[in-house]
Amino acid sequence: MCVGISLLLSPAQASESIKLSSWNMDWLTLRPAHDHALPPNAPTRTAADFAALRHYAQRLHSDVLAFEEVDSLEAARLVFPQEDYDLYITSDPIIQKVGLAVRRSSGLTVTVNPEVTALNIPQRGHHHALRGGMDITLHKGAASLRLLVVHLKTGCWAQPLEAKKRACSLLYQQFHVIENWMMDRLDDGTPFAILGDFNRRLTPSDPIMRLLQSDADLTLTTAGFTSPCRRSGDLFIDHILLGNQARGWFVPGSLRVMLLRNAPKGLTLSDHCPVSIQMQLP
């Protein structure tokens, strides 16, 4: 089933729920095209590109948005203005960082926890670092929601666990780090969400998802749907996973994808679409 792209809420629902999103922003940087740290095929953005991305972010109107592939807070602020959002970003010494934008009017407060640097698996003979994870706790009233924002190793979208491909070995190691983080949340009883670009076509039958489910009951909010982002029928690689009490806060049927493919020609936006859900906090 292909997921929808719009959501109508009654005023009562809108006042009590939060919109949680993830968006890979495709090498969002202020560096010039010839910067030695950028690969040759990395997109460069014009003022018009940033204005269009900011317009889409305003339309999306997320309360909490996890972003991936962002170089700096300065670049992020051109999409998520400081007057509207508090921004957080990892300290990774790489261009493709992960971070979080929290809408100031959401009523949420934030605790920044230590970054999950263990996701940057050492790679013998390779100088390209993997990305760490951002660990943040959101608070609203008596409710707390712990978030882990990730952008995992690319190249192992659906291969079996025993695949000898280097990308698969690294991805599986990263999932073990996530598993350990998740087990800590099970021990402390904190409602949690793991979200971002997993670079894995997770489904309930995927061996990695089955491994995680063997530890705890999880809600894979993209399960049973395909993404309309690029072409109809593609499985999601951007996911939002929920655990502990957060599973009960998920508003059923609220998964949405904002399409960018109908943007005016000539603009460089992103090769990913924002993925969102609604959560009803107690």
Higher confidence at residue 6 or residue 220?
220
Using the predicted structure, report yes or no on whether residue 8 has a pLDDT greater than 50. no
> What integer is the mean pLDDT of 37-60?
95
Q: How confident is the model at residue 6 (pLDDT cuts 50, 70, 90)?
A: very low
Q: What is the pLDDT of residue 127?
A: 67
Q: What is the pTM of this model?
A: 0.94
Q: How confident is the model at residue 193 (pLDDT cuts 50, 70, 90)?
A: very high
**Cα–Cα dist 13/1, whole Å:** 25
Q: Which CATH number is 15-280 given?
A: 3.60.10.10
pLDDT tens-digit series, residues 215-266: 999 999 999 999 999 877 899 999 999 999 999 999 999 999 999 977 888 9
| Domain segments of the chain as ranges | 15-280
Give the dihedral of Cα atoms 125, 92, 37, 68; nearest 10 deg.
Answer: 110
* 24 bridge partner residues: 68
> What integer is the mean pLDDT of 132-156?
97
pLDDT tens-digit series, residues 59-109: 999 999 999 999 999 999 999 999 999 999 999 999 999 999 999 999 999
Radius of gyration, alpha carbons of the chain: 18
Using the predicted structure, report yes or no on whether residue 7 has a pLDDT greater than 60. no
User: CB under 8 Å to 180, separation ≥6 — which residues?
Assistant: 118
Q: What is the pLDDT of residue 163?
A: 87
Extract the runs of DSSP E, i.e. beta strands, from 127-251. 134-140, 143-151, 192-197, 218-220, 238-243
